Amino acid sequence: MRQQLDTAIRLSLAGQVRNRLAWILLVAFVPVWYLLIGSMIPHVGADFRLRATGVTLVVDGHDLTLITAGLSAITLITAFVVFAAVRRSLPFDRRLVLSGYRPAALIAAKTNAALVQAVAVGAYATIILLFFWRPAGVWSIAVTFILAAATYAAFGLLIGVVVRGDLEGFFLIIMIAMLDTFLENPVDNPLANKPILEFFPSYGPTQFAAAGAFHHQVLPSMAALSLAWTAAFALLGLVVLRLRMPRPASVAACST
């Protein structure tokens, strides 16, 4: 089991790192996106409601939009990379399991690769953000980006195992990630402070980031909410993934 786990962890990461489109998106899209959004949104005040505390902050709309722009970029990239990796390896994983690989080792390796990627993408997007804005609570932005990247890595996994075609998967990821992140921003969406947006995956990370960057406050409940979304997506995705692998009885005994 140990040898299988080590091999799967190493090769899952190796396979994911070779996704050239993901590298291009990460290296080029993130700074271009910050630049584009940053140049379009002026430094004007915007009301942002911290629903967790009931306080309404007047924040710089430009800076807030940089946060949601970062969120939209990393959620798209992480979901896409994990989705592509899962789609690519589904039949291969079946063959490995038929050949004696333990499904638990493959599932653990995929989870590990998704988490490593979430931390790397979140940290990178934070570093690039510093070229455009130096927020007071930069660590809160980093935590936010990593939390959101983890949620969408899990979402990419779930979409990867439930949809039939690649195109519908990409479409779902783009639609949901863009809507989710932009709806939370009052500069883009006049209804951003409405209660219904509490039920969106980016609600927790956006609240956590705004509280840290504009109000010097830590909102652990918002981080927990984001982790709950991650856990829910990951659990569903991993259960479906396990169901799609050959069952141990048919493998071990080679009988039906």
Partner 1 sequence: MSALAARGVCKSFGRHKVLAGLDIDVTAGELVAVVGENGSGKTTLLRVLAGDLRADAGSVACSDRPGYCPQTVVLDDALTVDQHVRYFQAAYGISSPSRAGELIERLGYAACRGQRAGTLSGGTKQKLSLTLALMHDPPVLLLDEPYQGFDWQTYLAFWELTDELRARGTATVVISHLVFEQERFDRVFQLTDGQIHEEASRHAPAT
Applying CB under 8 A, the residues found at the interface with partner 1 are 3-4, 7-8, 11, 14-16, 18-19, 88-89, 91-92, 94-96, 98-101, 246-247, 250-251, 253-256
Torsion of CA 217, 220, 225, 227, to 10 degrees: 120
Nearer to partner 1, 196 or 253 (CB): 253
Nearer to partner 1, 179 or 251 (CB): 251
Nearer to partner 1, 92 or 139 (CB): 92
What's the Cα-to-Cα distance from 7 to each of 102, 201, 248, rounded to whole Å? Answer: 12, 33, 20
Beta-carbon neighbour count of residue 183 at 10 Å?
20
Cβ of residue 94: shortest distance to partner 1, in angstroms? Answer: 7
Cβ of residue 143: shortest distance to partner 1, in angstroms? Answer: 30
- Adjacent-strand bridge partners of 48: 57
Cβ of residue 164: shortest distance to partner 1, in angstroms? Answer: 17
Cβ of residue 19: shortest distance to partner 1, in angstroms? Answer: 7
From 153, 203, 151, select the one nearest 181 (Cα to Cα): 203
205: number of CA atoms within 13 Å, CB side? 33
Nearer to partner 1, 95 or 216 (CB): 95
**Residue environment code for 215-244, b if the CB has 16+ CB neighbours within 10 A, otherwise e:** bebebeebbebbeebbeebbebbbeebeee
DSSP state of 247: P
Cβ of residue 26: shortest distance to partner 1, in angstroms? Answer: 16
Nearer to partner 1, 109 or 129 (CB): 109
